[in-house]
Amino acid sequence: MSKKVFSFTDRLGRQFAMRSPLEISIAKKIDQRQDLRWNFEALQIPVALDLQAKVGARYLVPDFQLYFPCGEKWVVEGKGVTLLDDYLKRKNTVVREYCEANGFNYEIVLSMPTAETVDEWDRLVNIKGYACVRDWFPRTVQERIDCDMEDWAKELTEEIGRAVYDFDW
């Protein structure tokens, strides 16, 4: 039995064969950013010889690679699973180590995160930056910091009833 393939055409006319609606959702979000270059399954990460039997592959191919104009590089994986099996633990360890050694940030986008699934990924794989795909949007580290500060200021404004982010520091 063959697996279902979903076709996606980006804003530049490139066509991609994706294996899940989750990958399509992530691609649509990524493709909204005009300043962002991205690829799907274009990066091959070599697996160390002693791990090849455990991982079951000579190379791992993460879902998305994002290249921001500021120079930040991201590897983004979409996951629809709720619990990690041993294979996913090993695979994500290899990908995380590659990213750390090669200047990529690494993020996992879960299709339906819950406190339990996020905790499970955190505890077993030790990767931060989970997001629900419906709320997720590709951002640089600085954009994330700016967004967090803006959210903090809005929350504080609601609590004390004045616009703290307009205050002249």
Q: Do both 155 and 115 map to the same domain?
A: no
List of residues 6+ apart from 120 with CB closer than 8 A: 82, 83, 84
Structurally, how many domains does the chain consist of? Answer: 2
Q: Do both 80 and 40 map to the same domain?
A: yes
Q: Which token pair is 135?
A: 């709320």
Tell me how far CA of residue 52 lies from CA of 42, 57, 87, 109, 121, in angstroms.
Answer: 20, 5, 11, 25, 22
Q: Is the pLDDT of residue 164 over 60?
A: no
Residue 65 in any domain: the answer is yes
pLDDT tens digits for 67-125?
999 999 999 988 876 556 777 778 888 888 999 999 999 888 877 666 666 666 666 65
Q: Do both 26 and 54 map to the same domain?
A: yes
Q: Do both 73 and 104 map to the same domain?
A: yes
Question: Model-level pTM?
Answer: 0.76
Closest CA to 118 of 84, 92, 145, 148: 84
What would the mean pLDDT of 5-11 be, rounded to a whole number?
93
CATH number, position 15: 3.40.1350
pLDDT tens digits for 20-67?
888 998 999 999 999 999 999 999 998 888 777 777 788 889 999 999
Burial category of 10 from C-beta neighbours within 10 Å (exposed 0-12, middle 13-18, buried 19 and up): middle
Q: Do both 147 and 72 map to the same domain?
A: no
Its domain, for residue 36, covers: 6-138
Quick one: pLDDT at residue 7?
94
Residue 104 in any domain: the answer is yes
Q: Do both 149 and 117 map to the same domain?
A: no
